[in-house]
Structure 1
């Protein structure tokens, strides 16, 4: 999960650097192309290694053969994930990074509701306390007012709901699919969507733009690999609670790279999130000891 937090923060920097220069759809399309190229290289190396060892058995790092139901779940996950990313990239270009992440962190609330209904995850007292302290930390950091209630904020809030649907689908897929398989379908499904939507305002990237597109492609790949891997070991509501740590981290990025103000509420909010996560982790340990 630490790898996911760091990778998502790097991804946000790349998205901010390209804002207004390359369209969101085109950025997502090129990200999928980079992901496919990188994954193809991994599978090629694996196949060569297996061939040299004379091993024809399938490992958990190879592509599984998903059933029709699994394919539909991949499609469901990636359509909502694409919509969520589009809204996220849109918000990053218009709002301070900390505010975008704060609005995005309504995701644990939606995820808790969705997971309790469709994944039969228990809504425990520790989870509720963890989410409460996480949201409280968000409110302390961004100190929301009427200025947040605008078009960009509504779009980011809508993307948060789509992220929750996507994360819940990822948790369901992680029961049978390897992280690399989930990533492969992500690139395959989202590539044509991004390409079609980018045709109307396509521009060829120049110079440093290719660098930032590569940063977006590789950091997104690593972030989602770490996230899918985390889903194999923890409930989706627990994972999303840990994701609260991304807000103080990205706020520090805003201070360091974009001269956004560093304020005491950032430290207080981060402390509240830490308390929430400690409560959540304690609840997990208690459940394991009881079983």
Structure 2
């Protein structure tokens, strides 16, 4: 494997880890805000902050607004649809399921990404990488120890969310050969802004609220934030911009099957958030599961950097 390809893969993996950190911050902020605010409001304010950051900082650093011109507009439309679907289903499930169960089910995403990368991107996923994905998933099972409650009907929501995220990643990989990471981040953020604004116009007055927690995730009325909540919204917006940019970078630099196992990094991060934010000290099974997850990612990285002759895949265009 050439030094250029190795460097590209390492940078892509680091971007995937950074995206996992950013998205874990979004999960925490949503848990803080979901009791008092509807999903469309959280998404709208987060999208406004993220779009400002993209337009003011990230896009100028990548070449200016000219990079937003794309030949993949239909593909970006599909990406927007996939990520909006994923957010609605995952966060709806997160509101009615225990956090650990929802996150564990959502971690079907790397498995689905790896499968779709073989079916639609014609990527070759060898036994080492399949093994890394399976070991990482087994680590999640060790942590969560799911029982029958994990398979209640509501559990379909985060699973559908994982299908949506997997589809987004595959579409990102398809577009990543010609579009920059900032471009890949801009269109979903703009899509979030438009969809959440429309939802706010329809549901914002609260006339559709039902009193049922599952439905009211979306149907609750708009409520203006107060005090520290503005900061939490801002943190969610910055995390959304950074996470969207980094995940786009990861999937344009690396094969989807290589990047996918590193999304498991979010599970050990959940342990950190539990200790720091909720004062929940992990059980021994959590440490064991986290070790399996991290070990799986490191094995995948080690194998990728030592395997000669990578399969052909579209490469990102050069800057400029």
Q: Residue in 2 aligned with 1:219?
A: 239
Q: Residue in 2 aligned with 1:260?
A: 280
* 1:249 corresponds to 2:269: yes
Q: How many angstroms apart in 2 are the aligned matches of 1:290 and 1:142?
A: 35
Q: How many angstroms apart in 2 are the aligned matches of 1:196 and 1:9?
A: 26
C-alpha deviation, 1:173, in angstroms: 1.6
Q: How many angstroms apart in 1 are the aligned matches of 2:140 and 2:169?
A: 20
Does the CA-based 8 Å contact 2:51-2:241 persist in structure 1? Answer: no
Does the CA-based 8 Å contact 2:139-2:288 persist in structure 1? Answer: yes
Does the CA-based 8 Å contact 1:61-1:179 persist in structure 2? Answer: no
1:243–1:126: structure 2 CA closer, same or farther, 3 Å change rule? same
1:218–1:282: structure 2 CA closer, same or farther, 3 Å change rule? same
Does the CA-based 8 Å contact 1:252-1:262 persist in structure 2? Answer: no
C-alpha deviation, 1:269, in angstroms: 0.6
Q: How many angstroms apart in 1 are the aligned matches of 2:275 and 2:180?
A: 37
C-alpha deviation, 1:253, in angstroms: 0.9
Of 44, 48, 51, the residue aligned with 1:29 is 44
Q: Residue in 1 aligned with 2:75?
A: 73
C-alpha deviation, 1:248, in angstroms: 1.7
C-alpha deviation, 1:43, in angstroms: 7.0
Q: How many angstroms apart in 2 are the aligned matches of 1:20 and 1:151?
A: 22
Q: How does 1:121-160 map to 2 (within 5 A)?
A: 121-160=123-162
Q: Residue in 1 aligned with 2:306?
A: 286
Q: Over aligned residue pairs, what C-alpha RMSD do you find? A: 2.2
Q: How many angstroms apart in 2 are the aligned matches of 1:45 and 1:188?
A: 17
Q: Find the residue that maps to 1:258 and give its secondary structure.
A: coil
Q: How many angstroms apart in 2 are the aligned matches of 1:43 and 1:163?
A: 23
* Unaligned runs of at least 5 residues, structure 2: 1-15, 204-220, 312-320
Give deviations 1:16-58, integer Å, cap 9, x for gaps.
Answer: 1101211011211222111222222227966xxxxxxxxxxx9
Give deviations 1:57-77, integer Å, cap 9, x for gaps.
Answer: x9488524212xx10110101
Q: How many angstroms apart in 1 are the aligned matches of 2:136 and 2:275?
A: 21
1:247–1:45: structure 2 CA closer, same or farther, 3 Å change rule? closer
Give deviations 1:94-117, integer Å, cap 9, x for gaps.
Answer: 334333221111011111121111
Q: How does 1:154-169 map to 2 (within 5 A)?
A: 154-169=156-171
Q: Residue in 2 aligned with 1:270?
A: 290
* Unaligned runs of at least 5 residues, structure 1: 47-57
Q: Residue in 1 aligned with 2:317?
A: none
C-alpha deviation, 1:283, in angstroms: 2.6
Q: Find the residue that maps to 1:63 and give its secondary structure.
A: helix
Larger mean CA deviation between 186-195 and 135-144 belongs to 186-195
Does the CA-based 8 Å contact 2:59-2:65 persist in structure 1? Answer: no
Q: How does 1:28-67 map to 2 (within 5 A)?
A: 28-42=43-57, 59=63, 62-67=66-71
State the TM-score, normalized to the length of structure 2.
0.80
**Alignment length (residue pairs):** 278
Q: How many angstroms apart in 1 are the aligned matches of 2:242 and 2:153?
A: 31
Q: How many angstroms apart in 2 are the aligned matches of 1:61 and 1:276?
A: 39
C-alpha deviation, 1:229, in angstroms: 1.3
Q: Residue in 2 aligned with 1:205?
A: 225
Larger mean CA deviation between 227-236 and 58-67 belongs to 58-67
Does the CA-based 8 Å contact 1:79-1:190 persist in structure 2? Answer: no
Give deviations 1:234-284, integer Å, cap 9, x for gaps.
Answer: 111211111112112112312331233510011111111233223312331
Of 95, 99, 102, the residue aligned with 2:101 is 99
Does the CA-based 8 Å contact 2:17-2:265 persist in structure 1? Answer: no
Q: How many angstroms apart in 2 are the aligned matches of 1:170 and 1:267?
A: 33
